[in-house]
Structure 1
Amino acid sequence: MNMHTSRRFLPSTALLAAFEAAARTGSVTLAARELSLTQSAVSRQIKLLEEQLQVELFARERQTIRLTAAGQAYAREIREALRKISTASFNLRANPKGGTLNLAILPTFGTRWLAPRLPKFLAQNPGVTINLATRLTYFDFRAEALDAAIHFGLRDWSGVEMAMLRAEKVVPACSTELKNQYGFHTAGDLKQAPLLSLSTRPHAWNRWFAAQNVAGLSGQTMYFDQFATVAQAAMVGVGVALLPTFLIHDELASGKLVRALDLPMESAERYYLVWPPERSAHPPLIVFRDWLLAETAADH
């Protein structure tokens, strides 16, 4: 339903408030008193609403009103909608920089890097609510109810504004048992072991071998669509994976993963915060962007 079509089904809040008050109190008189209006004004607003919707909301019997079945269902929906509007308006007045930020995140960056830092942001910005949704690749902001996204890639996302957050270095990582089994000494030795790749980074191993002046792969690698899965596969000895060092710090420190070879490579891609131009002045986005850039400043 487009906006032009839906305007017929978008009554004014004055009509909805009159209906909700009458539905809740069961009386036009009490509704009028609550809204500081005359009884005739409330009756007229309810009648206008029924005419706009072309549905009878009240059954009228002498001097009393009774909700119809349709009116009962509508009253429940409208009461919740008015409550949300009232709450949003109160929160905005109490904190003009508050509001909701609908943010798309990369799952591993979100859980391992962003989530542990979010309490700090929320404590500094108590009026802001962040809703998180997982997106792995480019998407169309015009088709998604999202204000911004944390994206890993090149500066080739058209139609958006972006701020670079940080670079990353990847390192070949595996289990201790696998490293001992193959006894890696040179970059070329890794070709003898099973290699694990993320499906969103299909050329990572070829880039890494090229950086080590070793011919690229001729065989296939195993592909995974999630970082958590490929990291777990590396930990249990399935193969060697190229993993960002800042996202596997705990696993390297605990020995769950080891560097197959200490030959890191900086990825060509970067982490970015991206947003559609029309959301650039959205207050929650502004405060989140400023905070995020400050948090990642040391990682550049």
Structure 2
Amino acid sequence: MRRNIPSSASLLAFEAAARHGNFARAAEELSLTEGAISRQIARLESLLKCKLFDRTGSRVKLNPVGARYARHVGETLERLDRDTQYITGMPEGNRSLELAALPTFASRWLIPRLSSFRKQHPDITLNIAARIDPFILTGSGFDAAVHFDHPAWAGMRMDFLFKENLVPVCHPELLTDTNLSSQLNELPRIHRRQNPEAWYSYACESGIVLDNPAQGVRYDLHEMAIAAALAGDGVALVPWMYVEKDLSSGALAAPWPKSVVLSKSFCLVKPVETGINDAALQAFEQWLRAEITDSGQ
């Protein structure tokens, strides 16, 4: 069936007029006459069989239908512009992968290792976007996601990668007491907002008494909690894999035991159906698993 899609000229004219709230300014931006803008919008309204602007004399204002359509058209044109610029900048013969990943995993573990991937696969461009929550992979524009195991991924292929275990860390200068259990109870606690019970669970598992496990500041990301710990603001319960370099360099200290109970399974989430980027995705997965093995995860 033939798609009922407006012309790009009509959409550009409408988007500019909606954004400016004025046909004259839209015409100036697009180097057209005001009459040309008006005709393009009239064609669009004819195609849609509804009015998009309320007209009072020479003045125009988006009506509710037009405002909603303008939002969707603006998002579509912006996405099309980004995709066009991206394709224009790709070397000939280059393949690309669109990967979604948890923000701290991407910035603290994955990206610092990508030079190795680029050396092995110089013809593959890996683009990474941060996603905190699971989402519907089909139709999202992503080829795969590195994320924690979750029922929301039902219907997708989930291949286990590693376990993420938490450990309390702090700036070494905060460790002034030889009684580490007592010190952990006294230090300000740093929480991750999405896991408010973590410190309580850690106290139960480790046997370390914490008078008020829920006390302390809360941040959305492990990256934020790590930054706070590096700044000496308190003790954060974060994944060991994200702070290995900081612990090795002495920037952070972890004198308390790792948690075994507080862990999540990370998976590579992929569509069930094969796609045009399967070979590139397979190359990335092989490299990723080798890096996980080498890092001892």
> TM range, normalised to the smaller chain?
0.5 to 0.7
| Number of aligned residue pairs | 222
5 Å matches for 1:222-237? 222-237=217-232
* Paired residues for 1:235-274 under 5 Å: 235-259=230-254, 261-266=255-260, 267-274=262-269
Out of 192, 196, 220, the residue aligned to residue 190 of structure 2 is 196
Q: Give CA-to-partner distance per residue, 1:142-200, whole Å, 9 cap, x none.
A: 452211111134566322212221123322111223221x55432x6523321111123
Shift of 1:223: 0.8
TM-superposed deviation, 1:111? 2.1
1:289 maps to 2:288: no
CA distance in 2, matches of 1:257, 1:269: 23
User: Who is 1:31 aligned against?
Assistant: none
1:161–1:276 Cα contact (<8 Å) kept: yes
Equivalent residues of 1:154, 1:270 under 8 A apart: no
What are the ranges of 5 or more consecutive residues in structure 2 without an aligned counterpart?
9-42, 44-79
Percent sequence identity over matched residues? 30
CA contact (8 A) 1:167 1:269 kept: yes
Separation in 2, partners of 1:191, 1:280 = 52
Which structure has the greater CA radius of gyration? Answer: 1
* 1:100 aligned partner: 96
Contact 2:185 2:209 in 1 (8 A): no
- The one-letter amino acid paired with 1:293 is R
Alignment match of 2:106 (pick from 110, 129, 144): 110
Q: Which runs of 4+ in 1 moved over 6 A?
A: none
Measure, in 1, the Cα distance between the counterparts of 2:290 and 2:171.
Answer: 35
Distance 1:5 1:243, change over 3 A: same
1:144 corresponds to which letter in structure 2?
Answer: S
- Find the counterpart in structure 1 of residue 204 from structure 2: 210
Counterpart CA distance in 1 for 2:190 and 2:130 is 23
Q: Tell me: CA distance 1:236–1:123, structure 2 relative to 1, closer, same or farther (3 Å).
A: closer
1:119 aligns with 2:115: yes
State how far apart, in whole Å, the 2-side matches of 1:126 and 1:210 are.
48
Cα separation, partners in 2 of 1:165 and 1:152, compared to 1, 3 Å:
same
Q: Distance in 2 between matches of 1:290 and 1:133?
A: 20
Is structure 2 residue 154 aligned with structure 1 residue 158?
yes
Pairwise CA distance, 1:204: 2.0
Work out the CA distance in 1 between the residues paired with 2:221 and 2:121: 31
Task: Report how far residue 263 of structure 1 moved.
Answer: 0.9
Take 1:206 and 1:280, find their aligned partners in 2: how far apart are those partners? 44
Normalised to the residue count of structure 1, the TM-score between the two structures is: 0.62
Partner SS, residue 153 of structure 2: coil
Could you say if the C-alpha distance between residues 173 and 184 of structure 1 is closer, same or farther in structure 2, counting changes exceeding 3 Å? farther
For 1:144 and 1:285, how far apart are their aligned partners in 2?
Answer: 16
Which shifted more, 152-161 or 249-258? 152-161
Q: CA RMSD in A?
A: 3.5
- 2 CA distance for matches of 1:171 and 1:281? 40
1:220 aligns with 2:215: yes
Instruction: Tell me how far apart the structure 1 counterparts of residues 148 and 197 of structure 2 sit (CA, whole Å).
Output: 15
Match of 1:170 in 2: 166
Structure 1 contact 168–245 (Cα < 8 Å) conserved: yes
- Partner residue of 1:5? 4
SS at match of 1:200: coil
Distance 1:204 1:157 in 2: 24
User: Residue 280 of structure 1 contacts residue 286 of structure 1 at CA under 8 Å; is this kept in 2?
Assistant: no
SS in 1 for 2:154: coil
How far, CA to CA, are the matches of 2:247 and 2:115 in structure 1? 25
**Following the alignment from structure 2 to structure 1, what is the Cα–Cα distance between the partners of residues 275 and 135?**
18
3-state secondary structure, aligned to 1:258: coil
When normalised by structure 2's length, the TM-score is 0.63
How far apart, in 2, do the equivalents of 1:162 and 1:117 lie?
A: 23
